[in-house]
Amino acid sequence: MALEKLGTEIRREQIVEAALSLIAAQGVRRLSVAALARRVGLVPSALYRHFKSKQEILDAAVQLVQRRGLDNLKEVCASTPNALERLKLLLMRVIKMIRELQAMPRIVFSEGVSADHPERKRQAYVILTGFLSAIEGIMREGQERGEVRTDLDAKTLAVMFWGMLPPVVILWHMSDGAFDVTRQAERSWELFSEAIRAR
Amino acid sequence: MALEKLGTEIRREQIVEAALSLIAAQGVRRLSVAALARRVGLVPSALYRHFKSKQEILDAAVQLVQRRGLDNLKEVCASTPNALERLKLLLMRVIKMIRELQAMPRIVFSEGVSADHPERKRQAYVILTGFLSAIEGIMREGQERGEVRTDLDAKTLAVMFWGMLPPVVILWHMSDGAFDVTRQAERSWELFSEAIRAR
DNA sequence: ACCCTATGTGAATATCTATTCACATTTTGC
DNA sequence: GCAAAATGTGAATAGATATTCACATAGGGT
């Protein structure tokens, strides 16, 4: 018996937060409606009052993570016009986010969320390429402003910038948080920024 | 009814190859004993004559992938003493492997295989860090031979080298093979090698 | 206060999956 | 050739999971 009845807005939030929390602890694969309900303090069937299906819950969790990612991007671009500064800030923001919102890496890398359904996969691809386009935009601006080398392909650079994250994320997870993501990110950034800085 | 009875060695091979094939097509999560059996041309219960459990089949598949990865590493180190040459060869080898053995990226990134079981996760970590150590070793040799800058941390470089792969892999998968992994890998390598080459 | 809607419950259901088990058949070794 | 072992089958089982459904209750609006 739930302690009280709550409106659907509040419950939906609780459910999504519970999902993120459980995903962080156990991964997407082991996320069950039963565990979710327990976490929120309801019975499993109650969740269907607020979401049509388990997949809808997952979708909502993905969107939340995505929104936070985009927020980071916006804040970073608003804080400085310098391309390299932006990129560094963004990198550090994302690293921070990985540490705090631990479900994020699991969601991003999980095939349970997107990769086994054509439409969702396409959507995820659109989101990812959108992110890469934004990075690419920063690179181009940097090139126009004389901050970034112009003899390098901005798109390639965007992908490489992104490439600083997965190894860090994976090692962090596999080592149960023992791997020093911040240091690795900083060092990677140093080398990368030195390599792409205009001369 | 199977066309013929085959010894366990042959069947085991067939089953593991079937696993890799299905994982490539559908991912680890959707790999079922029933689909595996169908693929091999047996009934599901027959698989238990050759493997104790589904997890054992998965473990065997992981080991196969791993072995091929190590083979690549050995061959590369045997083919040239030059560190940067080795690394480039290795990168291209892995890219080739990704294209041919499509199950590999799915296995590597899947939490269905390792991340939700402490012992397996640790094992995967040991394997991964072993791979990174080998790369690190190549970097150090390169530094000793005057091929690679000595002012950079070999460990960091190893992780960054590895970082060239995941974005490529992910984009390749999400775009259903449309993303040009080879070109991205080559460009990444050019920038990376230029950045770390001794001056 | 009353009625309707929103929310929660508990039981049932359907589906899927991995695995066991008893029987059948083929293969191997003596 | 015979017996034992290896391999394959089909039915059954157990477990887990997502979801539906009918009933109950709380909350909000009139």
Contact A115 B173 (CB under 8 A): yes
3-state secondary structure (DSSP) of residue A148: strand
* Residues in B lying within 8 Å of A, measured between beta carbons: 26-30, 106, 109-112, 115-116, 121, 124-125, 128, 152-153, 156-157, 159-160, 162-168, 170-171, 173-175, 184, 187-188, 191-192, 194-196
Q: How would residue B2 be classed by pLDDT, with cut points 50, 70 and 90?
A: low
Going by C-alpha positions, the residue among B171, B153, B23, B111 that lies closest to residue A174 is B111
**Pairwise pLDDT comparison (A127 vs A120), residue with the higher score:** A127
pLDDT at B25 over 50: yes
Q: Which residue of chain A comes nearest to B26, CA vs CA?
A: A116
Q: Which residue of chain A comes nearest to B153, CA vs CA?
A: A187
Which alpha helices (DSSP H) does chain A contain, by range?
A: 8-26, 33-40, 54-79, 83-100, 103-109, 118-144, 154-163, 165-174, 181-196
Asked if residue A6 keeps its beta carbon closer than 7 A to nucleic acid strand C, the reply is yes
Going by C-alpha positions, the residue among A121, A13, A115 that lies closest to residue A60 is A13
Mean pLDDT of B59-67: 90
What's the pLDDT score for residue B174? Answer: 83
What's the pLDDT score for residue A166? Answer: 86
What's the pLDDT score for residue A103? Answer: 75
pLDDT at A147 over 50: yes
Q: Which residue of chain A comes nearest to B123, CA vs CA?
A: A174
Percent of chain B with pLDDT over 90: 62
Mean pLDDT of B71-81: 93
Q: How would residue A117 be classed by pLDDT, with cut points 50, 70 and 90?
A: low
Q: How far is it, in rounded angstroms, from Cα B104 to Cα B66?
A: 9
Nearest CB among A111, A121, A194 relative to B29 is that of: A111
pLDDT at A195 over 80: yes
| Nearest nucleotide relative to B31: CA against C1' | C17
Mean pLDDT of A149-163: 94
Query: Which stretch of A141-145, B117-121, B166-170 has the lowest confidence by average pLDDT?
Result: B117-121
Distance from CA of A21 to the nearest CA of B (A): 15
Contact B125 A174 (CB under 8 A): yes
Asked if residue B45 keeps its beta carbon closer than 7 A to nucleic acid strand C, the reply is yes
**Pairwise pLDDT comparison (B118 vs B13), residue with the higher score:** B13
What's the pLDDT score for residue B113? Answer: 52
Q: What is the mean pLDDT of chain B?
A: 89
pLDDT at A62 over 60: yes
Give pLDDT tens digits for B132-158. 999 999 999 999 999 999 999 999 999
Place of tokens 């019975």: A43
Q: Which residue of chain A comes nearest to B125, CA vs CA?
A: A174
- CB contacts < 8 A, A to B, total 109
Q: How would residue A102 be classed by pLDDT, with cut points 50, 70 and 90?
A: confident
pLDDT at A112 over 50: no
Cα B61 to Cα A116, A186, B28, B49, B99: the distances in Å are: 20, 36, 11, 17, 17
Place of tokens 């995967």: B124
3-state secondary structure (DSSP) of residue B197: strand
Task: Read off the amino acid at residue B167.
Answer: P
Asked if residue A11 keeps its beta carbon closer than 7 A to nucleic acid strand C, the reply is yes
Percent of chain A with pLDDT over 90: 61
Domains of chain B plus CATH, in order, are 55-196 (1.10.357.10)
Q: Which residue is nearest to nucleotide D17 (CA to C1')?
A: A32
What's the pLDDT score for residue B93? Answer: 92
Mean pLDDT of A29-52: 93
Give pLDDT tens digits for A89-100. 999 999 998 888
Could you tell me if residue A27 is left (phi over 0), alpha (psi between -120 and 50 degrees) or otherwise beta?
A: left
Q: How would residue A134 be classed by pLDDT, with cut points 50, 70 and 90?
A: very high
Residues of B in contact with A30 (CB under 8 A): 116
pLDDT at A106 over 80: no
Nearest CB among A116, A174, A195 relative to B191 is that of: A195
The separation between CA B158 and the C-alpha centre of its own chain, rounded to angstroms, equals: 16
What's the pLDDT score for residue A36? Answer: 95
Q: What is the mean pLDDT of chain A?
A: 88
Complex ipTM: 0.83
Residues of B in contact with A184 (CB under 8 A): 156, 159
What does the CA dihedral A22, A28, A33, A37 come to, rounded to 10 degrees?
10
What's the pLDDT score for residue B112? Answer: 46
Contact A167 B159 (CB under 8 A): yes
Going by C-alpha positions, the residue among B82, B90, B181 that lies closest to residue B131 is B90
Cα B71 to Cα B64, B66, B89, B161, B171: the distances in Å are: 11, 9, 13, 18, 26
Label residue B1 exposed, middle or buried (CB < 10 Å: 0-12, 13-18, 19+). Answer: exposed
Mean pLDDT of A114-125: 71
Query: Which stretch of A101-115, B29-43, B56-70, B134-148 has the lowest confidence by average pLDDT?
Result: A101-115
Asked if residue B171 keeps its beta carbon closer than 7 A to nucleic acid strand D, the reply is no
pLDDT at B13 over 90: yes
Beta bridge partners of B148: B197
Asked if residue B45 keeps its beta carbon closer than 7 A to nucleic acid strand D, the reply is yes
Paired tokens of A75: 């804040």
